């Protein structure tokens, strides 16, 4: 296992968590499996230490993650702004999970940043912003949950985690690696998995809980997206898919039904880049951009340059304030700008 913090930083981490009574764990907008799973694992550890801990997120998370232990207790700012704001204002310590800049909190950003309480970042994204007193950031690791797993081991706590904690950590790592099909070649990833399996988790059931829960609407939409909406740019080894809110309503899809759609075109032989554009259901006039790639194509660079976003080399995202037609034009401009790498 790997050391995450220096001895000085670890001592400060222990002191801050020991002195705090009301801890808030924040995850990013549109929380995914890693954001939610790692946050819930952190909450369970701190709760065992006798702390009052709340997990807050700016917007809701996919329905296929609602089975996670503790997920029903997560507070969603977009649905209960006043209640969540009161929780955030009362915090005397923050753990920032799975994001590296306060802008990823969207509407929750101002309330969190107005609270002067110390902040601890647990993350695996590149170039963390300077807004936390302690930064445990390891971009080479497959997930924030892996960072947390190593940190627990460094503190001598990994052998004491509960079954539910292990489930949350494993789920988070699994989700952020596409069931360990990318960003998961380091031996330390499987050292963590071995420790988690020793807690008695059923990894096969976890896989089914996440990936085998499709609704009939999702299956129908998947066929529609591949047959009607997928636009190939074969000379660039790229693809574009779009989804409007009217199409969401037509198929009756629910939150999380489009999870993983961006990965599907990469199954085409020779494909290097897949871009998925979707109208934001909560913010009119905003297009959410998801990018996936293979090998050495830098999604994160493209996301930062063209889509006001960022992320990892092979999995990134961003947002555009425009209509779908304009968003498609921006994607095509981005593809042309990276013609040399894509060809």
Q: Do 17 and 51 form a contact (C-beta atoms < 8 A)?
A: yes
Planar angle of CA 128, 130, 133, nearest 5 degrees: 105
Q: Residue 288 in 3-state DSSP? A: strand
User: Which residues of the chain does CATH 3.10.310.30 include?
Assistant: 216-342
Task: Quote the pLDDT of residue 283.
Answer: 83
- CATH superfamily membership of 7-211: inorganic pyrophosphatase (n-terminal core) (3.90.1640.10)
What is the rounded average pLDDT of the residues 82-100? 97
Task: Quote the pLDDT of residue 287.
Answer: 97
Task: Quote the pLDDT of residue 64.
Answer: 93
Put residue 234 in one of left, alpha, beta given phi > 0 → left and psi -120 to 50 → alpha.
alpha
> Could you tell me the pLDDT band of residue 279, with boundaries at 50, 70 and 90?
very high
Task: Quote the pLDDT of residue 167.
Answer: 98
| Residue 150: pLDDT over 80 | yes
Lookup result for tokens 């399996």: 197
Q: Do 121 and 96 form a contact (C-beta atoms < 8 A)?
A: yes
Check residues 126 and 229 and name the one with the higher pLDDT: 229
pLDDT tens column, 235-265: 999 999 999 999 999 999 987 899 999 999 9
Cα–Cα distances (Å) from 241 to 261, 324, 336, in that order, read: 9, 11, 17
pLDDT tens column, 282-328: 789 999 999 999 999 999 999 999 999 988 999 999 999 999 999 99
User: Which residues of the chain does CATH 3.90.1640.10 include?
Assistant: 7-211
What is the rounded average pLDDT of the residues 177-200? 95
Q: How far apart are CA 163 and CA 156, in angstroms?
A: 17
The percentage of residues in the chain with a pLDDT greater than 70, rounded to a whole number, is: 100
Task: Quote the pLDDT of residue 255.
Answer: 77
Average pLDDT of every residue of the chain = 96
Q: How far apart are CA 57 and CA 77, in angstroms?
A: 6
Sign of the C-alpha dihedral computed for residues 281, 244, 99 and 46 taken in this order: positive
Instruction: Say whether domain 216-342 belongs to CATH 3.10.310.30.
Output: yes
| Residue 335: pLDDT over 90 | yes
Task: Quote the pLDDT of residue 256.
Answer: 83
Beta bridge partners of 273: 238, 293
Beta carbons within 10 angstroms of residue 170's beta carbon: 25
Please report the DSSP string for 152-175 in residue order. Answer: HHHTT-GGG--HHHHHHHHHHHHH
Q: How far apart are CA 311 and CA 34, in angstroms?
A: 13
Which H or E element spans position 109? helix 109-114
Task: Quote the pLDDT of residue 317.
Answer: 93
The percentage of residues in the chain with a pLDDT greater than 90, rounded to a whole number, is: 94
Question: How many helices and strands, by DSSP H and E, does the chain display?
Answer: 13, 12
Task: Quote the pLDDT of residue 281.
Answer: 86
Cα–Cα distances (Å) from 63 to 26, 204, 262, in that order, read: 19, 19, 18
Name, in order, each residue with C-beta under 8 angstroms of 297's C-beta and a sequence gap of 6 or more. 272, 273, 313, 314, 338, 341, 342
């Amino acid at each position: 296992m790997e050391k995450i913090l220096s001895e000085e930083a670890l001592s400060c981490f222990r002191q801050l968590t020991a002195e705090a009574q009301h801890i808030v764990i924040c995850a990013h907008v549109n929380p995914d499996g890693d954001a939610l799973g790692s946050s819930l694992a952190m909450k369970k550890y701190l709760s065992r230490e006798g702390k009052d801990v709340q997990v807050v997120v700016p917007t809701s998370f996919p329905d296929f993650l609602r089975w996670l232990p503790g997920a029903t207790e997560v507070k969603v700012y977009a649905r209960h702004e006043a209640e969540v704001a009161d929780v955030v204002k009362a915090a005397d310590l923050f753990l920032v999970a799975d994001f590296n800049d306060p802008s990823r909190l969207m509407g929750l950003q101002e309330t969190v940043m107005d609270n002067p309480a110390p902040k601890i970042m647990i993350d695996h994204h590149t170039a963390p912003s300077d807004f936390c007193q302690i930064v445990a950031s390891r971009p080479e690791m497959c997930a924030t949950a892996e960072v947390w797993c190593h940190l627990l081991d460094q503190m001598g706590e990994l052998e004491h985690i509960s079954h539910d904690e292990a489930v949350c950590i494993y789920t988070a790592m699994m989700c952020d690696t596409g069931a360990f099909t990318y960003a998961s070649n380091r031996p330390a990833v499987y050292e963590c998995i071995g420790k988690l399996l020793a807690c008695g988790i059923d990894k096969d059931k976890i896989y089914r809980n996440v990936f085998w829960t499709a609704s009939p609407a999702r299956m129908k939409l998947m066929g529609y997206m591949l047959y009607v909406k997928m636009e190939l740019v074969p000379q660039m080894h790229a693809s574009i898919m779009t989804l409007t809110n009217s199409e969401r309503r037509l198929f009756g899809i629910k939150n999380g039904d489009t999870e993983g759609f961006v990965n599907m075109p990469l199954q085409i032989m020779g494909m290097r880049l897949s871009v998925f554009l979707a109208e934001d259901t909560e913010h009119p006039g905003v297009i959410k951009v998801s990018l996936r790639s293979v090998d050495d194509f830098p999604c994160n660079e493209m996301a930062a340059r063209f889509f006001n976003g960022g992320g990892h080399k092979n999995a990134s995202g961003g947002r555009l304030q425009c209509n779908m037609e304009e968003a498609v034009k921006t994607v095509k401009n981005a593809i042309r700008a990276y013609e040399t790498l894509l060809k």
